[in-house]
């Protein structure tokens, strides 16, 4: 049932990851850290850091047909960005869709920070990527983002055909907090009237607020980036109160996973959230859901946004996109 690739763990980062950190430090850039910055400073740092990661000439390096639409969200307008694969003629044949949710702990980042990743996914999956500019916490908290995810799916189903999208071939995907939303959307689509999702792509997701795991013990000090302390803070911003909820809509690792479509799960080997993905794969196996789990041993959290300077990160994203292509492009 599962297709699992789990290499031997040595806890050594890819040399290009180390070089990337040194280059960023010399440029005076640091990843966002809302525990040591104001929220506005952290969001600005995230945008500037991802400009550095993506490169200054991204549209020329990865050309794509990019359009934006606005639909009704649960409490106001919801912006969607459609990234069409390059070189695909608009001949009336609808293309499959990957509805994508960016990472950032529900607090930082945007569809702009993830621009290079979105373009790579469109290029190598053959699907139109529908990136969702969902609301950030703490200004908007759970379950608001779950409602926005469902609104994006409903827009694709009801209006996507007018934009060359195939409402019968829809996948959901996301990284980190976005993977939480993507898995939640798959659960909602399973229980909603209408076409179910065809596939789910999950990159190093945050699926439950459990910090008593081996990966948190190994990597929670932040030696490779993300820290357990920061994860606790992100959950508090998203959920409010103590940042703990047993509601499977907030922590989808706790949900009944039966009836889900096939999944591709990419875990980062040097990530305090690594075990969220490994535990999810175990639960999917118990539920007899087809899935592929790939552990990218030498990569840290957020590797999908490091595809320009880190070759193995690009290879991991292309592998994930190929899973989408094989599932949707028939």
Q: Please give the structure tokens belonging to residue 146.
A: 């779950």
CB within 8 A of 208, min separation 6: which ones? Answer: 251, 252, 253, 254, 276, 279
Listed residue (146, 137, 136) closest to 74, CA to CA: 146
Which DSSP string do the residues of 115-177 spell out, in sequence order?
HHHHHHHHHHH-SEEEEE-PPPTTTS-TTHHHHHHHHHHHHHHHHGGGGTEEEEEEEEEEETH
Q: CA–CA separation, 330 vs 327, rounded Å?
A: 8
Q: CA–CA separation, 51 vs 141, rounded Å?
A: 27
Indicate the angle between helix axes 39-54 and 115-125, nearest 10 degrees: 50
Q: CA–CA separation, 210 vs 125, rounded Å?
A: 33
Q: CA–CA separation, 205 vs 180, rounded Å?
A: 6
Q: 146, exposed or middle or buried, with CB in 10 Å at 0-12, 13-18, 19+?
A: buried
Q: Which amino acids are annotated catalytic?
A: 176, 271, 301
User: How many contiguous H segments (helices) and E segments (strands) does the chain have?
Assistant: 10, 9
Distance of alpha carbon 125 from the chain centroid: 15
Q: At 253, is the secondary structure helix, strand, or coil? A: helix
């Amino acid at each position: 049932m599962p297709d699992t690739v789990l290499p031997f763990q040595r806890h050594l980062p890819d040399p290009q990851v180390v070089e990337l950190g040194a280059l960023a430090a010399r440029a005076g850039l640091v990843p966002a850290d809302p525990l040591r910055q104001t929220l506005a400073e952290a969001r600005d740092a995230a945008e500037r850091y991802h400009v550095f990661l993506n490169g200054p000439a991204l549209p020329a390096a990865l050309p794509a047909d990019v359009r934006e639409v606005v639909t009704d969200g649960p409490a106001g307008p919801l912006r969607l960005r459609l990234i069409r694969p390059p070189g695909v003629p608009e001949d009336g044949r609808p293309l499959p869709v990957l509805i994508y949710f960016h990472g950032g702990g529900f607090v930082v980042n945007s569809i702009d920070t993830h621009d290079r990743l979105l373009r790579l996914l469109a290029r190598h999956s053959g699907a139109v990527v529908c990136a969702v500019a969902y609301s950030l916490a703490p200004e908007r908290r759970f379950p608001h983002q779950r409602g926005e995810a469902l609104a994006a799916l409903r827009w694709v189903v009801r209006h996507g055909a007018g934009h060359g999208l195939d409402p019968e071939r829809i996948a959901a995907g996301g990284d980190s907090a976005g993977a939480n939303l993507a898995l939640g959307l798959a659960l909602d689509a399973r229980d909603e009237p209408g076409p179910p999702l065809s596939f789910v792509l999950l990159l190093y997701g945050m699926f439950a607020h459990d910090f008593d795991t081996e990966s948190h013990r190994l990597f929670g000090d932040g030696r490779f980036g993300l820290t357990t302390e920061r994860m606790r803070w992100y959950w508090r911003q998203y959920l409010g109160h103590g940042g703990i909820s047993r509601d499977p809509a907030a922590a989808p690792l706790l949900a009944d996973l039966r009836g889900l479509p096939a999944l591709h799960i990419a875990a980062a080997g040097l990530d305090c959230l690594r075990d969220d993905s490994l535990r999810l794969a175990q639960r999917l196996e118990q539920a007899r859901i087809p899935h592929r789990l790939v552990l990218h041993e030498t990569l840290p959290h957020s590797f999908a946004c490091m595809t320009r300077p880190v070759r193995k990160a690009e290879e991991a994203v292309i592998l994930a996109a190929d899973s989408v292509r094989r599932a949707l492009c028939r």
